[in-house]
Structure 1
Amino acid sequence: MTAFKTASLASLAAAALLAACSQPAETPAETAAPEAAETAVPAVPAGVYALDPTHTAFFWSVPHNGISNYTARFSKVEATLTLDPDNLANSKIEAMIDPTSVSTAYPGDYKGTHPDTGFQSWDENIAQGFLKAGQFPQITFVSTAVNPTGPRTAEVTGDLTFMGQTRPVTLNATFNGLLDRHPFLGVPAVGFAAEGSFKRSDFGMEAGPVGDEVKIRFDGEFVRQGDAAAPAAGAEG
């Protein structure tokens, strides 16, 4: 079951944030006020933002036997966003996923029903048997371009490195909003979502009972760093 996930996906979403910071096209003063209010984007402070691991979700799914979509997640995702609202070309998102953190919520006794695999759990089987985590301990994503597609959306292209191979991947990111002051940390925080897909065969994944296309979905919060109240790991609440 090579349902792996593309790390950086976490990152991509960040691009949504980048897009959010770009100036939307000018609109005449006569434009409908309600519509303008709905699409208005807050001014996001420049700086370095770190992904809050306690408010992060990264899911991946693959077609299974042609009749369903098998879905799982990665629980250990790290990402750093360097944001320059005045020049998005100078902004950058870097993300890393720990392939051993795959979580499938397998409901039964995997070792008991699969004694010949040599793995203690289905999660371990995927991480070590399919994702080769022992040989490739990280899945990374580094953005190379951000192309705004709307006031709160953008296409984020970057290099995804998986199982020793690097390929370009484009994600659709959406800026969810800005907290001028995080309720627990007292610093700015931003949220976004990102989704996209890629072919596992492009990274040398072998055939199996699952389809070639891997879909990914990311939701997360980024907290600005460099402030006294900024956390080293994650924010509570």
Structure 2
Amino acid sequence: MLKKSFAALALGSMMLAGQAFAADYAIDTKGQHAFVNFKISHLGYSWLWGSFREFDGSFSFDAAKPEASSVKVTLKTDSVFSNHAERDKHLRSEDFLNVSEHPTATFASTSVKPTGDGTADITGDLTLNGVTKPVVIAAKFLGEGKDPWGGYRAGFEGTTTLKLKDFDIKMDLGPASQSVDLIISVEGIRQ
């Protein structure tokens, strides 16, 4: 009986060793290897670029089964930075991010759909300015592997476009500025 139990345990272990499992990663914001950037048209003549400097999050990723992956991110809305102090003050006001009422924005994925060649559509709930809406991030796997400090990392980039009015941002910047593009780049450290 003991031999049979050991054999079953060994067989089960071998079967599990052949399967890939999702690994959990912490987004590396402390090492400055993750960015949440945005751009919006200025009057249709140029792009205004900015970023959110404070955020954290995690993701789970399995290259063999990307549809089982997930991601969660929380960012501090008052960390908005557009390289102009008065504009940043305006972006924090009730006209835009209303940071006094909504100090954080969150994203939590609900599904990941591989689209081929290392890309996927990540659908999730974005809560911004007190409004929660589903959004789709077009994501691309950049790579994974060991780092020089004994850790293991994986990196992704993603983009999505948000309509300002969908998130109750009432400031009208004109017809060329009704939406904002988010450009996200993250590197995670396996936990």
State the TM-score, normalized to the length of structure 2: 0.80
* Greater gyration radius: 2
Task: State whether residues 20 and 62 of structure 2, in contact with CA within 8 Å, keep that contact through their aligned partners in structure 1.
Answer: no
Structure 1 residue 147 and structure 2 residue 113: aligned?
Answer: yes
Q: Which amino acid aligns with 2:54?
A: K
Q: 1:85: Cα distance to partner? A: 4.9
Q: Which amino acid aligns with 1:183?
A: P
Structure 1 residue 162 and structure 2 residue 128: aligned?
Answer: yes
Q: Which amino acid aligns with 1:219?
A: S
Task: State whether residues 78 and 96 of structure 1, in contact with CA within 8 Å, keep that contact through their aligned partners in structure 2.
Answer: yes
Aligned to 2:89: 124
Q: Determine the C-alpha separation between the residues in 2 that align with 1:84 and 1:220.
A: 16
Q: Which amino acid aligns with 2:170?
A: E
Deviation digits for residues 53-88 of structure 1, max 9, x if unmatched? 121121111122122221111111211112345654
Q: 1:166: Cα distance to partner? A: 0.6
Aligned to 2:27: 51
Aligned to 1:223: 189
Aligned to 2:5: none
Root-mean-square deviation (CA), in Å? 2.0
Aligned to 1:70: 48
Aligned positions of 1:1-237 closer than 5 A: 46-53=22-29, 54-85=32-63, 87-106=65-84, 121-129=86-94, 130-179=96-145, 181-184=146-149, 186-210=150-174, 211-225=177-191
Q: Which amino acid aligns with 2:167?
A: F
Q: 1:90: Cα distance to partner? A: 3.9
Q: Determine the C-alpha separation between the residues in 1 that align with 2:187 and 2:91.
A: 27
Task: State whether residues 67 and 113 of structure 2, in contact with CA within 8 Å, keep that contact through their aligned partners in structure 1.
Answer: no
Q: Determine the C-alpha separation between the residues in 2 that align with 1:128 and 1:67.
A: 24
Q: Determine the C-alpha separation between the residues in 2 that align with 1:178 and 1:199.
A: 33
Residues 122 and 44 (structure 1), Cα distance of their counterparts in 2 relative to 1, 3 Å cut: farther
Residues 220 and 49 (structure 1), Cα distance of their counterparts in 2 relative to 1, 3 Å cut: same
Q: Which amino acid aligns with 1:125?
A: H
Q: 1:199: Cα distance to partner? A: 0.5
Q: Determine the C-alpha separation between the residues in 2 that align with 1:70 and 1:166.
A: 25
Q: Secondary structure at the match of 2:33?
A: strand
The percentage of aligned residue pairs carrying the same residue is 30
For structure 1, list consecutive stretches of 5 or more residues without a partner in the other structure. 1-42, 111-120, 226-237
Q: Which amino acid aligns with 2:46?
A: S
Q: Determine the C-alpha separation between the residues in 2 that align with 1:55 and 1:169.
A: 24
More displaced stretch, 62-71 vs 43-52: 43-52
Deviation digits for residues 68-120 of structure 1, max 9, x if unmatched? 221111111211112345654543210111111111112xxx6xxxxxxxxxx
Q: Determine the C-alpha separation between the residues in 2 that align with 1:176 and 1:83.
A: 13
State the TM-score, normalized to the length of structure 1: 0.65
Q: Determine the C-alpha separation between the residues in 2 that align with 1:221 and 1:132.
A: 29
